[in-house]
Amino acid sequence: MFALMLAAVLSFPATVLGQAKPTAKTATAAQARAFIEKAEKRLKELSIQYAQADWVSQNFITDDTAALSADANKNLIAATTEFATQATRFDGLKLPADVARKLLLLKLSLTLPAPKNDAERSELANLVVSMQGDYGKGKYCPDGDQNKRLDLGALSRILAESRDPKQLLDAWRGWHAIAPPMRQRYTRFVELANKGARELGFADSGAMWRAKYDMPPDAFAREVDRLWLQVKPLYDALHAHVRAKLREKYGADVVPENGPIPAHLLGNMWAQQWGNIYPLVSPPEQEKTFDLTEILKARKTDEKEMVRIGERFFTSLGFAPLPQTFWERSLFAKPRDRDVVCHASAWSIDFKEDLRLKMCIEITEEDFQTIHHELGHNFYQRAYNKQPVLFQDSANDGFHEAVGDSVALSITPEYLKQIGLIEKVPGVEGDLGYLMKIALDKVAFLPEVRPAEYNKAWWELRKKYQGVAPPVARSEAEFDPGAKYHVAANVPYTRYFLAHILQFQMFRAMCREAGYTGPLHRCTIYNNKAAGAKLNKMLEMGLSRPWPEALEALTGEKQIDARAMLDYFAPLKAWLDEQNKGRKVGW
């Protein structure tokens, strides 16, 4: 996923020292251009400093590295606040289109708005680093035994592989126990961030985030609701079937007939991707054709070769190979001698060629797909690196996620055969099983709620949208949102909902460009230069134009539309509707 670091690198401009401050009446277009050019130059300098410090902080978690990262982040936050305020003096001027857009983006660029008060800015920066550090260092000791310390990776494997409801519950509770110590800091963090947003003229940080989509915040909220209503029948059908199969497996005492599904049973620590329970819910007539995890392990594929395979996908589309520094500076395996933030993330350190991947890779099908996704970020970053600094980002934050995901949709059996990982492509009789496996990750993820609430509201929202409930009683003594990386790291979450819609729209467009006419779920764009050129045309635009124009460059459409996703899963939806006859759909 796109790291908080990168959001900060792209979001925090810097101060212009000694610059005159013309009033709105005396300001000129020439002064506006000079202002933004100096801002971008300073932005690049401070962003590189922060990127380097944060890379070290996340890869060598100590109090000292956290302090260095917090200090660099504080400088960026302080400068951004000053710049965003100064940019308003050019409001109302008739400006060249590129200058006007840069000034607008500058005022909307803050992921983390900070108060003007220097002490509060420092406090906010330290809070962010400390919560990220606690998340990265999080461990659970079963029965209090310090010799059995389990990190998130080990606990996630239990959630993925165990079918013992007691063991699943213990692992779920163990990880969520890392979060309550963050609660007081997070409460203060929210206070400071909202204060910073208000000082910039927004109601709160959430309103500021929603203003970043080339439309008014209220219009954007309506757009998200429209998209959710498009896909909700598909999600409801999948939820009803999964609930019924889990009830068969674990019994009526564990899974209700009509209510929400207990979160610890869905194969994922946050119950947002359900692919690990595929064997429990797969179409019964489908025989298992191949196990990619076992194939990769049998071939003794190591972490670097997993990444090499992903790189070759992009070079087959016509993209240049990754620079040598990528292979020298990235983190591919979890070190044995220290804690690191293992959450997968793609980094652009210098706005040019210093691209990196940070990921504790395991030799699994899931990580095989994640690598293709993360490299999508890296190739996107390089594609727009000729743009000015303020335009070096995706068309909107959902695009960055969608590009990687649309590429990962090409990891079909056809692709695996072309690269020699399987010998034979399964027949159409296996399509329902394949679609079910994809849906358990892609469709199950759709209603994941924005992780910026507290415990009671958090679970109320998860029940309303996901049909998921806590497996045990929770109180305000807990802080379950904090067990989610994106809360500790202050990552806006709507991007992932948008990405899960956009990826299918982008994928369909690339398949059409490749001349593919069969069922969408069987398409792969691997080794198709025409599809790669079409994709690159959009990637190179970065944030230089409003996102509808970028979407049009790839798809020919200016509106995000879920029909491609519904078309992709149409055979599965028909099957689910048959299975759900006589069952309650909903909760």
Q: Is 120 a catalytic residue?
A: no
DSSP one-letter string for 252-319: TTTS-SSSPEEGGGSSSTTSS--GGGHHHHS-TTPPP---HHHHHHHTT--HHHHHHHHHHHHHHTTP
**Residues paired with 140 in a beta bridge:** 150
Backbone φ, ψ for residue 329 (5° rounding): -110, -10
Q: Which of 40, 311, 374, 448 is the catalytic position?
A: 374
What letter would DSSP give residue 201?
Answer: T
In 3D, which of 238, 336, 326, 327 has the Cα closest to residue 278?
238
What is d(CA 527, CA 91) in angstroms, rounded to the nearest whole number?
A: 48
Give 436: exposed, middle or buried? Use CB within 10 Å, 0-12, 13-18, 19+: buried
d(CA 66, CA 133): 7
Distance CA 296, CA 362 (A): 10
Give the distance between the most distant pair of CA atoms in the chain. 75
* Distance of alpha carbon 207 from alpha carbon 213, whole angstroms: 11
Q: What burial class does residue 242 get, using C-beta atoms within 10 Å of its C-beta: 0-12 exposed, 13-18 middle, 19+ buried?
A: buried
- What is the dihedral sign for C-alpha 289, 292, 294, 296? positive
CA dist., res. 186 & res. 76, Å (int): 20
Q: Which amino acid is at 545?
A: R
In the annotation, is 486 catalytic? yes
Residue 138 near residue 153, CB atoms below 8 Å: no
CB 575 within 8 A of CB 432: yes
Q: Terminal CA-to-CA distance of the chain, rounded, Å?
A: 31
3-state secondary structure of 468: strand
The neighbour count for residue 53, using CB atoms within 10 Å, is: 22
Of 239, 372, 373, 486, the active-site residue reads 486
What's the CA gap between 412 and 515, in Å, rounded?
A: 17
Nearest by Cα to 265 from 252, 291, 247, 240: 247
Q: What are the catalytic residues? A: 374, 486
